[in-house]
Amino acid sequence: MALRLNQPSDSSGNLQTDLLQIAIDRLGQKEWDTVISKDKISKQKVEHYVKEQTFAIQAFLQRQELNITDMEAYGVIEPGKISIAGGNITGGVVAGPGSPVIGAAILPTTPAKNSNRIKFRVQISDRSNKVGIPEVGRMVKRTLVRFVRIFF
């Protein structure tokens, strides 16, 4: 008896369908065809059994807690989203490259803001610290992942 599911890539993508196919493989396709043509109650019992198995697996997976052990994420701070106390510089003339601004004034009423997009990278990893921040390793154990939606 050759099983239809020999590896994960053989899956139909639907757990309930796969479990039913496994039951059919164990019973035998010819016997299953006989059951569904002659005994509707037995067919329903097998289908309900498979459905209950699907729900049991889903409930089990949703109770699991997974830790992220290696993740990198990227983000962007859009222009104007960071305000810096001290204000913008207005006016003034630069005498030459590297020279101070002469005649400039700081406007304390309007905070300075970022004018460009600021890209950043964050990392959660217990294996490496590519960003070089000591907190990276300590934060791994505080990160929790749960299965919220499982596709069956």
Contact 102, 93 (CB under 8 A): yes
In a domain, 2, yes or no: no
Structural domain for 97, as ranges: 83-114
Both 97 and 128 in a single domain? no
- Assigned domain for 129 exists: yes
Clarify whether residues 37 and 56 are in a common domain: yes
| 43 shares its domain with 71 | no
φ/ψ of 72, rounded to 5, equals -125, 140
Question: For residues 78 and 94, is the Cβ–Cβ distance under 8 A?
Answer: no
Specify the pTM.
0.52
pLDDT digits (tens, 9 = 90+) for 22-61: 999 888 899 999 888 888 898 899 999 999 999 999 889 8
Using alpha carbons, select from 67, 65, 66 the residue that is nearest to residue 140. Answer: 67
